């Protein structure tokens, strides 16, 4: 029986990976960081307390008998980072922590290492042509730089040891209980707050949580996945304006979107020190998943609209809790 170890098993992606793998009848071991997060690890998972992830982490209690590791634990990008040197902190967790786990995995006889990276490794924005998995890397922020450096280290380790490495670069992941900016947009739309986002004609790829997890599960044992990099999306690229309108429809609310010209919106954002955030809302970021489809025979199983409806139901059921 395949035995899986999922890092970050209490997190948004890791939790759902654990649930899916359990439902497939596999043995699952999962790590959590704090006592408060332990309860978010699904029942049926063998729980391993790993209080911190860095170059000194001892993973020995988690690795015996494991065939595949799914590494979702990471220091994630935040809009307002309080660290004095964000890149150093990202490297401590996302590079040193990842490679320490991978080296110990080799020693423990683990066969495959699935690394959840970021589309930010490809770059910040696309112009007419979508990103592909073979593009030259152009990470733009400390978080993406750290993910790329971890990828390089994993590939080197794979060449030296025979560990099968699978790298998956998702764009924005959304779904019920999604953290970060997507949840903030849900709140704004639900409350009917007017947003100056009614005239944005960009194209952005997203990935539903269930689609990302489906790809991860596909890569657990697929022979063609070994030592490959995959991009993932829902295959339905939307403008920011269209996403907000679909979100409002799922919530049963009117979309109160003011058609502020993009140049004006970007200029105001720069004055407020939010140029990066404006770029995420106004710029295009499309990914080409043809390699993922063709090499793995994979198709996104759920649609954007179905995921938005599921997300809206969850939000409405929990908005007062």
Cα–Cα distance measured from residue 302 to residue 304, given in angstroms and rounded to the nearest whole number: 7
Task: Say whether 190 is catalytic.
Answer: no
With beta carbons less than 8 A apart as the criterion, state whether 119 and 276 touch: no
Cα–Cα distance measured from residue 8 to residue 104, given in angstroms and rounded to the nearest whole number: 17
Measured at the CA of 269, the angle between CA 179 and CA 186, to 5 degrees, comes to 30
- Say which residues have a Cβ less than 8 Å from residue 307's Cβ, sequence separation at least 6: 174, 175, 208, 209, 210, 211, 234
CA dihedral 4, 94, 182, 267 (to 10 degrees): -160
Cα–Cα distance measured from residue 124 to residue 126, given in angstroms and rounded to the nearest whole number: 7
End-to-end CA distance of the chain: 40
Cα–Cα distance measured from residue 37 to residue 168, given in angstroms and rounded to the nearest whole number: 25
The catalytic residue among 32, 143, 148, 190 is 143
Closest CA to 68 of 4, 20, 161, 6: 4
Q: What is the DSSP string of 101-129?
A: HHHHHHHTT--EEEEE--GGGT-S--BSB
CB neighbour class for 84 (10 Å; exposed up to 12, middle 13-18, buried from 19)? exposed
Closest CA to 207 of 185, 236, 241, 182: 236
CA atoms within 13 A on the CB side of 240: 25
Q: What is the set of active-site residues?
A: 143
């Amino acid at each position: 029986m395949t035995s899986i170890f999922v890092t970050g098993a209490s997190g948004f992606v890791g939790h759902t990976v654990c649930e899916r793998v359990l439902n497939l009848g596999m043995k699952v071991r999962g790590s959590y960081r704090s006592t408060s997060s332990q309860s978010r690890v699904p029942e049926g998972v063998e729980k391993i307390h790993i209080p911190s992830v860095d170059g000194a982490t001892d993973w020995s209690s988690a690795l015996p008998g494991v065939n595949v590791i799914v590494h979702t634990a990471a220091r994630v990008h935040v809009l307002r980072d309080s660290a004095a040197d964000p890149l150093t902190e990202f490297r401590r967790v996302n590079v040193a922590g990842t490679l320490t786990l991978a080296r110990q995995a080799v020693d423990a006889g683990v066969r495959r290492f699935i690394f959840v990276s970021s589309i930010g490794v490809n770059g910040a924005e696309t112009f007419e042509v979508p990103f592909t998995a073979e593009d030259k890397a152009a990470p733009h922020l400390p978080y993406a730089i750290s993910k790329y450096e971890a990828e390089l280290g994993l590939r080197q380790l794979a060449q030296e040891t025979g560990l099968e490495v699978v790298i998956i670069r998702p764009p924005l992941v959304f779904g019920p209980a999604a953290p970060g900016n997507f949840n903030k947009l849900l709140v704004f739309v639900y409350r009917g707050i007017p947003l100056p986002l009614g005239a944005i004609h960009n194209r952005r790829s997203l990935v539903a949580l269930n689609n990302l997890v489906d790809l991860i599960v596909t890569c657990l044992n697929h022979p063609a996945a070994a030592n490959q990099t995959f991009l993932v999306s829902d295959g339905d690229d939307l403008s920011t304006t269209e996403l907000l309108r679909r979100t409002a429809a799922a919530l049963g609310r009117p979309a109160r979107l003011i058609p502020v010209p993009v140049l004006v919106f970007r200029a105001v954002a720069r004055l407020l020190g939010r140029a990066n955030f404006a770029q995420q809302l106004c710029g295009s970021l499309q990914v080409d998943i043809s390699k993922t489809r063709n090499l793995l025979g994979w198709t996104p199983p759920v649609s954007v609209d179905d995921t938005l409806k599921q997300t809206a139901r969850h939000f409405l059921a929990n908005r007062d809790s």
